[in-house]
Amino acid sequence: MISGRSRSLSLVDHDTVLAEKTLVEKARDGDEGAFGELAAAYRGELRRHCYRMLGSAQDAEDAVQDALLRAWRSMGGFEGRASVRSWLYSIATNTALDITRRRSRRELPVGFGPAGAPGDEIAAAVTDPVWLEPCPDSWLAGPGTDATPEARYERRESVELAFLVMLQRLAPLQRAVLILRDVLGFPAAEVSAQLGTSLASVNSALQRARAVASAELPPVSQQAALRSLGSGRAMLLARRYADALEAGDADALVGMLTADGTWSMPPHPTWFRGHDAVRDWLVRDPLTVRWRHLPTAANGQLAVGCYLDTGGAGRYLPWVIDVLTLSPHGREIAAVTGFIVAGQPDPAGVFATFGLPPEMA
């Protein structure tokens, strides 16, 4: 017997299916407004999907735009043998795969070269598109969920920095299959159709991708570490971190790191590991200037927006998004990844996507 709640949900789902079917029929007849409504319902999850595939927020935006344009142009030939959602994912995935063929994989400095020693200067920025980019937590919001119950990873886990680094080390087909199967929960046969490859190829790619994931992902996700810490203590940790930076307190900052904690700052390839090297760099470089900070969130992790007083006049401008990777128990910081946005065409616009103001007084 169907409960009242289940029956109401079934009616809602039924109404949603009917509404979508009507929009599909109108869009196939050339109604651009109807297609816009269809696209709007899936744009957010398609953007998350392309971000996982590409490791770049900007590339993800471009890929979704291109995919929806391709979908609109081929709408007249959509026969409904697959759901609209599956069809759009097929187009978005193949669009992202086209981009991966033209771009190198995305990296973080910690995997790009050896750690710097105490006294090392910061190397010049590498401006080629080789770095992972942070994802604002607002991209993770929205009604419903991308995944089916068959998915192995939750939405926030699947955009954590460690997860993205692992994805980027996979061959493009393996990456696509792992995301479609284990993040989104599509059946293998459906993934085979989406990618235009055999079921055997899908299963082989998934097996290899799962082996890499098992070997490279940390035993405790950031979501688990944050749950262990609790929201109140997590915010306190972020506040202590920001206060220490503003006070120029290198000892307090180093004391918050694990013994082998790392600090990196893409697009600069230089990074440091361990208390001595990190402290030496802090007192020589970032703690010689004045900062202000606001808490935010990125990639499902704690983050801090860092504003620099560039002219010494008390006008603090957007400079860095520091994403904090916590130790398994959540009480220490295992890695600081400082994504430098200064020098990009619109630093204030980047900060705005993280819910941060364009400057601080």
**Mean pLDDT of the region 200-220:** 97
Whether the per-residue pLDDT at 1 is higher than 70: the answer is no
Q: Does the domain spanning 230-353 belong to CATH 3.10.450.50?
A: yes
CB half-sphere exposure, 145, CA atoms < 13 A: 13
Pairing of strands 268-273, 257-265: antiparallel
Of 258 and 148, the structure prediction assigns the larger pLDDT to 258
Q: State how far Cα 117 lies from the chain centre.
A: 30
- Give ranges for CATH 3.10.450.50 in the chain: 230-353
In which band, very low, low, confident or very high, does the pLDDT at 14 lie, cut at 50, 70 and 90? Answer: low
pLDDT digit string (tens) for 317-337?
Answer: 999 999 999 999 999 999 999
Q: Which residues pair with 297 in a beta bridge?
A: 302
pLDDT > 90 fraction of the chain, expressed in percent and rounded = 81
pTM score: 0.92
Alpha carbon distance 89, 99 (integer Å): 15
Q: Which residues pair with 271 in a beta bridge?
A: 264
Task: Point out the least confidently predicted range of 150-159, 187-196, 330-339.
Answer: 150-159
pLDDT at res. 114: 95
Residue 105 and residue 168 in contact, taking contact as beta carbons nearer than 8 Å: yes
Q: What is the dihedral of CA 170, 173, 178, 183, to 10 degrees?
A: 110
Q: Which amino acid is at 9?
A: L
Q: Which residues pair with 124 in a beta bridge?
A: none
- Give ranges for CATH 1.10.1740.10 in the chain: 10-75+82-103+134-216
Q: Does the domain spanning 10-75+82-103+134-216 belong to CATH 1.10.1740.10?
A: yes
Q: Which bin fits 249, alpha (ψ -120 to 50), beta or left (φ > 0)?
A: beta
